[in-house]
Structure 1
Amino acid sequence: MIFEWIQRIDRGLAAAERGLVIALTAAIAGIMMVQVVLRYFFSAPIFWAEEISVQLLVFATLFGLSLLVQQGQLVSIDFLPRALPERARRGLMVLLGGVMLALLVFVAWLGWDWVNRPDVRMELGATTQLPRWYNFSALPLAFALMAWHQFAAIVRDLRALGGAPA
């Protein structure tokens, strides 16, 4: 039962991330198209378009990376796992997944600590004068989501090691 809940939450987060990445990408495309039209046809560029687009791109990249972790589609060297028998392969995946989980949690913690520093909290965007901490907070949030997805993958592999279907 707990396994099903973990996997359901994992799939739900992935669906939300997918929708968010699609929306952010569409927003970037829309802002930049309007920027091009206004700049070159009306000589009236949007002063904040580039800054906001870069911030949206950071969000889209980090949450897209989290989605790749959930789908197991990160670039990897897999000649050793493919050469191993199924049980040994799952064991290796649990071991490597544990290392990756520890790293993701550590980076999320470092990111959260960094975002909460007073100098970072006071930093403002160059053109918009909006606080930048909300943009920086994408880092610890995305790494926490990646850690969750990695945890769910470890649970799947452990279950498969025990003989249950993953």
Structure 2
Amino acid sequence: MRLLSILILLAGAWLVPPVAAQSSIDVYEFDSPAQEAVFRELTRELRCPKCQNQDISDSNAELAKDLRDKTYEMLREGNSKQEVIDFMVARYGNFILYKPPLMASTVILWAGPVLVILLGLVVILVRTRRTRRNDGDELSTEEKKRLADLLNKDKES
């Protein structure tokens, strides 16, 4: 009986995950629901610089946690949404925004897909016109003579 209770205790200890493996949940307390709504919007609009394809609300990276904490701290100090965004852009650049503003440095992000599609259409049009022209080419005089000779040989046989 004593051996059974020791085995159960060991099995239970083996099944419990280590403390480092347990994830922590960030709990933020806000002065008003409006402040919490601004926090939620900001954490969805700001991209995690480490993860690159996740917003800071979804990322588990330490940097994302630091950015969430800094956003919370700035909102608690009374900074507006735009002030928080300006701070993050000044620190991490426009890459931190999921929707970067239209500027000379980001114009390729906005115009790139349209330019690629237009370039593809131009290539398709040029290739189809080229093949149409080649299909309608007339035979040279030498080719006509050779064709006539072949047809005459066929008639004679």
TM-score by length of 1: 0.23
Q: Which has the higher contact order (CA 8 A, sep 6+)?
A: 1
